[in-house]
Structures are given as structure tokens and as C-alpha cells.
Structure 1
Amino acid sequence: MSETLATPADSFAALRETMVERQIRTFDVSDLAVQARMKAVPREIFVDGAYASLAYSDARVLVTGAAPRELTAPLILGRLLKEAVVRDSDRALIVGGASGYAAALVAGLAAEVVSLDEDAALTAKAQANFARLGLANAKSVTGPLGAGAPAQKPFNLIVVDGVVTGPLDALGDQLAEGGRMVAIVGDAPGARTGMATLFVRTGAVVSSRGLFSASAAPLPTLAARPAFVF
């Protein structure tokens, strides 16, 4: 009997399974819905082809728009989504959405998701990826990250996909009552590490709570002295 070779799709599916079992679950991502979504979404289509084989590792992988962009490691993103407690009724915003991987994960967990990026080439890639995966509840928009997506507010959930050190006021203003935002807050412009932080809106007040230490690529246009003033 001849041996059947695994197809590339089979190989990537196996890599997704291994990623969840060895990285995601061991980093306290206990949410079964998040785990299932990370097994289902093909991260390899969201990265440059040269990095496809690394798509499910914790290595740095890039996607290129107007300039190369490093994507957040899956275990960090999975933990952020777990801490955010994504609900099936949520309207969500991904800030720094790049080629759309984070939004594609959230699209299977929430009612609607908007992926925001300043790089029009990346937002076009994101929209193409959503179409490829049949994600009718996900859309990509281009605009300044710090301004959020005021035309689509309010949001029940905002995920800032990268390290920030600048003001998050405008984003906080776009949270619905009881809305949550997760972000990795660094202590200096250009920082690659920081504290993953949960923000919750109650009335006119946005409270914050540190969650865990995390590393990711900085979002340069959100790099300034931290502030959260209402």
C-alpha cells in the first residue's frame, strides 16, 4: 500500500492544532471558543508567503503593505481575546488590524467586527482575506489608529493589536456602556513590552486593570506618553 502524503492544507491544520495545544492552552487561554477559533482560522494566509511555515510558531512573522508589519504572536493575541471575554452579541473594533488575522478570529466569536489600520494596502489585504474566508460580518477600514472608527461606534469590545504608549482617550470614548478594551501598554515610545491591560467603561468612567506582561510590535502612531483622561 502506498503512503498518502499530507496536503499543505492538512499540514497547516496540524500546525494549528499543535499551536493551540502547546502555546495557547499553556498560556492560560482556557476559553474553549477562542481555542476553537484559533484552530479554525488559517493564519498562513495573513502573512507574507516567505513566513507561511512560521505562521503557527511564536517567531516574528511579517505582512507587507506600504511597509512590513510584524504580527502579534498567536499566544499573546489568544490571551488578550480570552481576557476580553468576547460575546456573540458584541460589536468589536480591532485597532492596528493589519492584514486582518485578529479580526478574522473575532468574527467567529462576535456579531460584527471592524478592522482599522492606517495602511491602505493592508486594509485591502484584510478585506480580501475576509472575502476569501466568507466572513460577511467583518470589514476593514483605513484611518488614523488613535481616532478609532467614530462612524461605526459604539463598540462593546476594542482590541488594540500592538504595544501602545500614547493616549487612548478617543478609543475609550467609542466604548459602549460596559464595553471592554484590551491593549498592551508600554512605558516608553518604541517599547516592545508592556502590561496587557483591560479597560472597562462604566458611565463616564473608564477603569483599568493590569492583566499580564506581554510583548508585541509597537504601534508607532500610538507612541507617546501614556494618558487616559475623560
Structure 2
Amino acid sequence: MIDYVELRRGMVDSQVRTNNVTDPGIVGAMLEIPRELFVPAQLKSLAYIDDDLALTSGSPTRYLIEPMILARLIQEADVQEHDHVLDIGGGTGYSAAVLSRLAQQVVAVEEDAGLAATATATLAEIGVANVAVMQGPLNAGWKAEAPYDLVLLNGSVDEVPAALFDQVKEGGRLVAVVGHGGAGKACVFTKVAGSVSERVAFNAAVPALPGFKAAPRFTF
């Protein structure tokens, strides 16, 4: 029988803590939340490996991003207990579950109907009551519940659409990996006086989220 508690502890000790994640709230959440419930049945034994895990087949394939990158992104987001958070492309709900332990309320947007249904069921199964899972295009966010203190994108993008920055509260943050593969940069955007500043936090290679390709630009 697989000891998931021990695997969870190993994930935190060997992946999360060693990636400069020191926030006790994040560490505690990742020690408690059963990640194996958020992956397809055939991948449960791999739920705690240091890699992205495919949640769907076909194109585009959706992934649960590797634990150490997710933990670092959330730490860079500086989540506060009063925060209203938009979690974009969270798949089966694992990132929303982690955020639920840190923030007051989380809105999780997922465009894949099957993933959204799984997220709703799994979050209910483990007793998460402050997450609402919504189905819709990832690049549109969820305007009905805006503005948000924090917007987190679970994957890499070519660029962040203006529609998402419009949903960030004054003084709020948006965290995303911009660029793909070796060119990916985890960026923290902050909205101040209507303008957006950008800080590159670290290099990150994570799977792309669908719907975020840069618009074609004319060159002369």
C-alpha cells in the first residue's frame, strides 16, 4: 500500500523547502492537502514527483504543474488572509485548494468541463468551502467577481491579456509565467494608480495555458 502521507512529506522536504519556499502557510497546506486526489487514477502513485503531470490527453494537453514551481509562484504572490483570489487554469483544483488555506475566497476558472467538474467534486470531498469553480475561457478571467487582490495563472503564456489586468484591484497582484521553456520568467505584476509594474521573480519552465498566444504584430 502506498503511504501518501510519507510521499507528501518527502515532496515538501525535497522539492518545496529546497526551492526557497519558507512561507509556513504554503508549507502547511502542501503537507495537508492530498495531491493524489487531484490527479487521474492511473497517476496517483506519481502524484508527488518533481514533474508536471498530464490531466488530459489530446490537444491541448492540460497539466498539474510541478509542486516546487506552484509553491514558489504562490509565495511570490504574497497571499494575505483577507485576499479575494482568481485562480486561472487550475485544472482539477489543487492550486485552488492550496490557495484556500491562505486567502479568504478563491474563484477558480477552468474552461475544460471535465476538469471543472472534477475540481468541484474533489474540493467538496476534502471539505474546502471557500472556493467557487467556474467554467469559462481562461483568457477572459471571471469578471463577475472582480476586482481581485490576486490573479494567479497556472501555466505559461505569451502575454497577459489586458482583460485580466482590468480585473486586478488597485494595489493588487497578478502572477504568471511569461514565455515558454528556457525563456519562461515568473513575473509579479502590481497595479498602482492604474498602471502596472512588473518584477521578474525567477526562471520557470511550465506547460502553456491554452488561449494566451500573442496577437500577430506587423513588422516593417
TM-score by structure 2 length?
Answer: 0.93
Say whether residues 1:31 and 2:23 are aligned partners: yes
C-alpha displacement of 1:59: 2.6
In the alignment, which of 118, 127, 131 is matched to residue 134 of structure 1? 127
Contact 1:166/1:226 (8 A) holds in 2: no
Contact 1:91 1:112 in 2 (8 A): yes
Distance 1:112 1:66, change over 3 A: farther
- 1:1-230 equivalences under 5 Å are 8=2, 11-64=3-56, 68-186=61-179, 191-193=180-182, 194-225=184-215
The one-letter code matched in structure 2 to 1:143 is G
Deviation at 1:70, TM superposition (A): 1.6
- Cα distance in 2, alignment partners of residues 94 and 66 from structure 1: 23
Q: Tell me the CA shift for residue 77 of structure 1.
A: 0.2
Distance 2:146 2:125 in 1: 26
Counterparts of 1:89 and 1:199, CA distance in 2: 19
Gaps of 5+ in 2: none
Shift of residue 206, structure 1, vs aligned partner? 1.1
String of CA shifts for 1:80-135, please: whole Å, max 9, x gaps.
Answer: 01111111100001111111110010001100001111111111111101110111
Post-superposition offset of 1:30: 1.0
AA aligned to 1:192 is G
Deviation at residue 175 of structure 1 after TM alignment: 0.7
Structure 1 unaligned spans of 5+: 1-6
Aligned to 1:146, the other structure's residue is in SS state helix
Give the counterpart letter for 1:25 in structure 2.
Answer: R
Matches of 1:167 and 1:137 in 2, distance apart? 26
Letter matched to residue 224 of structure 1: A
Shift of 1:220: 2.2
Whether the 8 Å CA contact 2:187–2:202 is kept in 1: the answer is yes
Contact residue 147 and residue 170 of structure 1 kept, 8 A? yes
Does the aligned pair in 2 maintain the 1:130–1:139 contact within 8 Å? Answer: no
Superposed displacement of residue 61, structure 1: 1.4
CA RMSD across the alignment: 1.8
In structure 2, what is the Cα distance between the partners aligned to 1:35 and 1:93? 21
Q: Secondary structure of the residue that 1:221 maps to in structure 2? A: coil
Q: What secondary structure, in the 3-state scheme, does the structure 2 residue paired with 1:222 have?
A: coil
Task: Give secondary structure in 1 for the equivalent of 2:211.
Answer: helix
Hey, what's the Cα distance between the residues in 2 that align with 1:196 and 1:160? 10
Identity of aligned residues (%): 41
Amino acid at match of 2:5: A
Residue type matched to 2:214 in 1? Answer: A
